[in-house]
């Protein structure tokens, strides 16, 4: 069972992260979910979704939301230092931060580890495991770009939430799926979210 650490931070674009979570669980992945305080605010603002503060309740919330999925979900708080993601002795196969704030990105770029999200990203980099960051910000300042360059040089994949439109999306859901499909491709997780270039839908 592929194990993915998925972190949701407080950038706009919470629909990307939740759709990704749904797809990972649907693909039978084991997901270690990390949710920042700001992400909970964004979820309420953008999706009218009140995420439970208790990590056990949070896992139960999503398991009920997508009942019957074949994956395994565990949620951890920002200072749960005994979570698997906190140690290089038990790293996930990959980590995705979706959506990723510029603040979280900056902390990761400079080796900060003041919370579990930052520490988990630090583990991915030092253990040479895939780290995929999905920033949703525009325009990028020079500081943002330099931080992204540092992370790319350290081995992270920067996958901005910049959807294409050649597949002629009929609604927001298909726009979201475009980005989620690209993340799943990076993780080598099969999906049927959209037709590939050169194939008929």
The CATH number that applies at residue 153 is 3.40.50.1950
What's the pLDDT score for residue 201?
A: 53
Q: What is the DSSP letter of 77?
A: -
Domain that holds residue 98: 3-186
Tell me how long the chain is.
201
- The domain tally of the chain equals 1
User: Is 141 within the bounds of a domain?
Assistant: yes
How confident is the prediction along the chain (201 residues), in pLDDT tens digits per residue? 799 999 999 999 999 999 999 999 999 999 999 999 999 999 999 999 999 999 999 999 999 999 999 999 999 999 999 999 999 999 999 999 999 999 999 999 999 999 999 999 999 999 999 999 999 999 999 999 999 999 999 999 999 999 999 989 999 999 999 999 999 999 999 999 998 888 865
- pTM tops 0.85, yes or no: yes
Q: Which residues of 169-182 are buried (b: 16+ CB within 10 A; e: fewer)?
A: beeeebbbbbbbbb
Query: Per the domain annotation, does 196 fall within a domain?
Result: no
Q: Where are the beta strands (DSSP E) in 59-113?
A: 72-76, 94-100
Is 195 part of a structural domain of the chain?
no
Q: Is residue 197 part of a domain?
A: no
The token duo for 20 is: 């990704």
Is residue 103 in some structural domain?
A: yes
78 within domain boundaries: yes
Question: Which residue in this structure is represented by tokens 């998925």?
Answer: 6
What DSSP letter does each residue of 102-167 carry, written as one string?
HHHHHHHHTT--SSHHHHHHHHHHHTT--EEEEE--SSPPHHHHHHHHHHHHHT-EE--S----TT
| Res 135: pLDDT | 98
**Burial letters for 7-32: b for 16+ Cβ neighbours within 10 Å, e otherwise?**
bbbbbebbbbbbbbbbbbbebebbbb
Query: For the chain, percent helix, then strand, then coil, each to nearest 5?
Result: 40, 15, 40
Q: What are phi and psi of 123, to 5 degrees?
A: -60, -45
Residue 199 domain-assigned (yes or no): no
| CA quadruple 103, 108, 110, 115: dihedral, nearest 10 | 80
Residue 168 lies in a domain: yes
Pick from 186, 168, 163, 164: nearest CA to 24: 186
pLDDT of residue 14: 98
User: Which residue, 174, 184, 131, is CA-closest to 23?
Assistant: 184
């Amino acid at each position: 069972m592929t194990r993915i650490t998925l972190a949701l931070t407080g950038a706009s674009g919470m629909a990307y992260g939740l759709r990704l979570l749904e797809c990972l669980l649907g693909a039978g992945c084991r997901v270690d979910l990390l949710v920042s305080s700001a992400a909970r605010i964004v979820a309420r603002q953008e999706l009218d979704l009140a995420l439970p503060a208790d990590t056990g309740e949070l896992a139960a919330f999503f398991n009920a939301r997508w009942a019957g999925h074949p994956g395994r979900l565990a949620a951890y708080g920002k200072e749960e230092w005994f979570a698997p993601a906190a140690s290089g002795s038990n790293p996930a196969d990959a980590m995705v931060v979706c959506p990723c704030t510029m603040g979280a990105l900056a902390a990761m770029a400079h080796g900060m580890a003041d919370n579990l999200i930052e520490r988990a990203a630090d583990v991915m980099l030092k253990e040479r495991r895939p780290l995929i960051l999905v920033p949703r910000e525009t325009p990028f300042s020079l500081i943002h770009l330099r931080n992204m360059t540092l992370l790319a040089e350290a081995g992270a994949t920067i996958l901005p939430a910049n959807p294409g439109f050649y597949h002629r999306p009929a609604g927001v859901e298909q726009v979201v799926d475009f980005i989620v499909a690209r993340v799943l491709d990076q993780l080598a997780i099969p999906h049927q979210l959209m037709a590939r270039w050169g194939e008929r839908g």
